[in-house]
Amino acid sequence: MKIEYFSVNTSSSWWPQSRDLYMEAFPCDERREPDELKALAGTPGYEFYAIVKGGEFIGILEVWEFSNFRFLEHLAIIPALQGRGFGTIIINDFVGKSDKPVYLEAEYPTTPIAKRRVQFYLNSGFVIAPFEYIQPPYYPNKNSVPMVLFVSNNSGIANIEQVVSTIKENVYFHS
């Protein structure tokens, strides 16, 4: 069965499951609150997708489209389906359909799950950008988080400072 991507907003039938998985899958400092997530709907270049296979919800994908790259902000598969290859299929599909470099961030590999995530992205063909990257806080009351920044191919590494600046200016809280 084919995997499908449905754009999600609060009126979508996929919203409750998508929101719940988003809140469960990511630590507080690495995500928005539900009201802020809802407020992003309609923002140019931003999409929040429910991932569905055979009519069943299997995960979420949150993406930003910029002029010279794409930023995969969040990807999560429901826990019962993790380890069955869905993440690999989704990453390969997403990167394969992109005509620009894809960037994403993941926690430093200091815990078993973080080590699995980093290895997953490396196995998916991403390379670690040679850049000390700190995810800015989503809001003034949240913390910055040191992260590993990945790029889908080496062609995006040459202008890494510009990419990071664009991400910080558009994705995270600005005071």
Backbone angles phi, psi at 85, to 5 degrees: 90, 0
**Taken in order 137, 51, 129, 111, is the CA torsion positive or negative?**
positive
Distance (Å, whole) CA 55 – CA 17 = 13
Q: How confident is the model at residue 175 (pLDDT cuts 50, 70, 90)?
A: very low
Has residue 158 got a pLDDT over 80? no
What is the number of structural domains in the chain? 1
Residue 34 within a domain: yes
- Report the pLDDT averaged over residues 9-33: 94
Residue 147 within a domain: yes
CA angle 43, 47, 51 (to 5 degrees): 160
Instruction: Output 12 or 156, whichever has higher pLDDT.
Output: 12
pLDDT in tens, 104-120: 999 999 999 889 999 99
Half-sphere exposure of 142 (CA within 13 A, CB side): 18
Domain containing residue 48: CATH number: 3.40.630.30
Instruction: Output 154 or 51, whichever has higher pLDDT.
Output: 51
pLDDT in tens, 124-133: 999 999 889 9
pTM of the model: 0.93
Residue 83 within a domain: yes
Residue 175 within a domain: no
Q: Indicate the burial class of 50 (C-beta count within 10 angstroms; 0-12, 13-18, 19 or more).
A: buried
Radius of gyration of the chain, Cα coordinates, nearest whole angstrom: 15
Distance (Å, whole) CA 19 – CA 153 = 30
CA angle 151, 7, 47 (to 5 degrees): 40
Residues spanned by the domain of 123 = 3-170
Instruction: Report the run of H or E that residue 3 belongs to, with start and end.
Output: strand 3-7
